[in-house]
A and B are shown apart, each in its own frame.
Chain A
Amino acid sequence: MGAGRLYVAVAAGGFRRYATYRAATVAGVFTNTAFGLILVYTYTALWDERPHLGGYDLAQAVTYVWIGQALFKTLANGGGGVETELMERIRTGDVAVDLYRPADLQLWWLATDLGRAGFELLGRGVVPFVFGALFFDMALPADVITWLAFLGSVALAMLVSFAIRYLVALTAFWLMDGTGVIQMAWLVGWFCSGMLLPLNVFPGALGEVVRALPWSSLLQAPADVFLGRADPLGTYAFQAVWAVVLLAAGRMVQAAATRRVVVQGG
């Protein structure tokens, strides 16, 4: 119980740290809204040409866009969560300080990232979504259960998202300069999570593969739960398996990394 309270406190700290920068939040909300508008018009043109593309009607496609904008920072599909900070701490050797604490490194950063994700959901997600709902025809669920099921899927998506980015961050123990890895992760995350286009749209083997990859847990999975296109329990199982596998991989890499901590700047 004591340990649980510690990580709740860490998460609360993460939430408040990101809440500190109000101007950045306002600018972010504006960006997400503007980007949502661009995508909505692009999708409208596309769905006009090809109705029911990927099995979505236009209202569903528009809803998909605004869900994407609402979750973009929360799930950090393209990066921008705690991994940048962690990589910097590894590079400078500040990670030594983290290791002196009587706390687990992975849980510590998971808690920080969940706090951050929670803030981004409320601070940066709600406004673009409400904006979309006010000005566009959206396919909103009528029952509370679906809304709750959606939030459950978002919570699992946060875990998968962190697990991926934690692995990305740990590469800094070997590479020292993480710029290349971050860019790779950004590109892959952005495309494979369905941020560019819903993964349902992609045909054939490519479609099958991207839908099976962990990134599809980030946006495609919660969006399909929201749109009533996927069974929540099946989706949860898919997301949970990836979360467990990737978190376990993170633990193994972490163990290997801390064994070789030649903490920088001794």
Chain B
Amino acid sequence: MDDDFIELDRVEKVFDVRRKTGFLRRERRSVRAVDSLSFTVARGEMVGYIGPNGAGKSTTIKMLTGILTPSGGRLRVAGIDPSRERTRLARRIGVVFGQRTTLWWDLPLIDSYRLAHRMYRIPEVRYRENLDRCVELLELGELLEVPVRQLSLGQRMRGDIAAALLHDPEVLYLDEPTIGLDVISKSKVRGFLRELNAERGTTVLLTTHDLQDIEQLCSRVMVIDHGRLMYDGALAGLHEVGESERTLVVDLERELPPIEAAPARVVRVEGPRQWLAFPAAQSAAELVARIAARYPLLDLSVREPDIEAVIARMYAGGTAQDEAEKAVS
């Protein structure tokens, strides 16, 4: 049970989209937002869930909270079928949307917390403890009496995170929790989440476009595109899957024609400086030795692959594959 705290087995979600094609004429089309998606998340895991816009991330989260019903497959959170028992599940989960708020816009922050106290029927002592803890760690002390509409985006975000945690949820879904935040606010939010996961063992599923969120928080990352799981594993493993490349920057004594050192290839030349891309798995030392033997070398540096570039390549690959499939069918 604890190993598959969240469990998806060939889950699908198909939307019917009606499009106007003429006067009173409608064309019906099915869009497969989530396509045979299977994964499990163990209790206490912190998982990054990433993908380009429209990949099916939010649809997945909506199904996990029960506000969307899957078109097919099996889905369980803590043993509960979310869409059948949305309200019962709601007491055990927390949801934070970077771009939406659960807080009462016109009223002081504390009023929204008092309401959560009632809504989730949190025992008095528990409520006090959790509130005090959130207030301390998220630095909300001076904000409690301020109407939400007067808070900055970063303050409101921290306020929303606290609101989602007062009832000790076993799992927390975060959708873009650091969107639009400045560096300091981001680091505060990340620090808090790390501590929450470590101390309370809260399971966290994090959707983001900010890969630093993933690098700093998640040991596991799932990449989804076109409703399908493209990658599931450690962040480091993405490099291999994404066929990532490292870059060797060499400064020569003078301008020379592009260096020949296969499998590395020159990707850019700027005066005496040249950039060579080579497979991440290949040893840089051997490559450097070969170049140094044949070229007048002044200086060099190696750049590690950029995870964003890796993922971008993966998305592009997925699209290309889709195009190919379409062309065949």
A7 to chain B, nearest CB (A): 9
Collect the chain A residues with CB atoms within 8 Å of residue B115's CB.
6, 9-10, 13
CB–CB B119/A94 < 8 A: no
Measured between alpha carbons, how far is A246 from B105 in the docked complex, in Å?
A: 29
CB–CB B100/A96 < 8 A: yes
A256 to chain B, nearest CB (A): 13
Residue in A17, A93, A259 whose CB lies within 8 Å of B104: A17
CB–CB B67/A263 < 8 A: yes
| Residue ID in chain B nearest A89 by CB atoms | B100
Does B313 make an interface contact (CB < 8 A)?
A: no
Does B28 make an interface contact (CB < 8 A)?
A: no
Collect the chain A residues with CB atoms within 8 Å of residue B121's CB.
2
CB–CB A261/B67 < 8 A: yes
CB–CB A13/B91 < 8 A: no
Does A102 make an interface contact (CB < 8 A)?
A: yes
Measured between alpha carbons, how far is A2 from B120 in the docked complex, in Å?
A: 9
Does A50 make an interface contact (CB < 8 A)?
A: no
A residues 92-110 in Cβ contact with B at 8 Å = 93-94, 96-97, 99-103
CB–CB B102/A97 < 8 A: yes
Residue in A13, A97, A101, A261 whose CB lies within 8 Å of B107: A13
B residues 115-137 in Cβ contact with A at 8 Å = 115, 118-121
Give B91-124 as 1s and 0s: 1 = Cβ < 8 Å from A's Cβ atoms.
Answer: 1010101011110111100010011001111000
| Residue ID in chain A nearest B87 by CB atoms | A102
Residue in B67, B88, B93, B100 whose CB lies within 8 Å of A94: B100
Does B62 make an interface contact (CB < 8 A)?
A: yes
A97 to chain B, nearest CB (A): 5
Does B65 make an interface contact (CB < 8 A)?
A: yes
CB–CB B119/A20 < 8 A: no
Give B68-107 as 1s and 0s: 1 = Cβ < 8 Å from A's Cβ atoms.
Answer: 1100000000000000001110110101010111101111
Measured between alpha carbons, how far is A149 from B289 in the docked complex, in Å?
A: 98
B127 to chain A, nearest CB (A): 13
Residue in A13, A102, A258 whose CB lies within 8 Å of B120: A102
Collect the chain A residues with CB atoms within 8 Å of residue B119's CB.
6, 9, 101-103
A3 to chain B, nearest CB (A): 9
Give the total of B residues in contact with A, Cβ under 8 Å: 32
CB–CB B107/A9 < 8 A: no
Residue in A5, A6, A261 whose CB lies within 8 Å of B68: A261
Residue in B15, B101, B111 whose CB lies within 8 Å of A97: B101
CB–CB A262/B67 < 8 A: no
Count of inter-chain pairs, beta carbons less than 8 A:
68
Collect the chain A residues with CB atoms within 8 Å of residue B305's CB.
none
Collect the chain B residues with CB atoms within 8 Å of residue A99's CB.
67, 86
A26 to chain B, nearest CB (A): 17
CB–CB B118/A20 < 8 A: no
Measured between alpha carbons, how far is A97 from B192 in the docked complex, in Å?
A: 22
Collect the chain B residues with CB atoms within 8 Å of residue A102's CB.
87-88, 90-91, 119-120
Residue in B59, B93, B118 whose CB lies within 8 Å of A6: B118
CB–CB A20/B95 < 8 A: no
Collect the chain A residues with CB atoms within 8 Å of residue B104's CB.
13, 17
| Residue ID in chain B nearest A261 by CB atoms | B67
Measured between alpha carbons, how far is A266 from B65 in the docked complex, in Å?
A: 14
| Residue ID in chain A nearest B99 by CB atoms | A265
Measured between alpha carbons, how far is A30 from B91 in the docked complex, in Å?
A: 45
Does A16 make an interface contact (CB < 8 A)?
A: yes
CB–CB B118/A262 < 8 A: no
A residues 1-46 in Cβ contact with B at 8 Å = 2, 5-6, 9-10, 13, 16-17, 20-21
| Residue ID in chain B nearest A266 by CB atoms | B58
Q: Which residues of A pack against B, CB within 8 Å? A: 2, 5-6, 9-10, 13, 16-17, 20-21, 93-94, 96-97, 99-103, 258-259, 261-263, 265-266
A to B CB contacts below 8 Å, 16 in the list: A2-B118, A6-B118, A9-B115, A9-B119, A13-B107, A13-B115, A20-B106, A21-B106, A96-B62, A99-B67, A100-B90, A100-B102, A263-B62, A263-B68, A266-B58, A266-B62
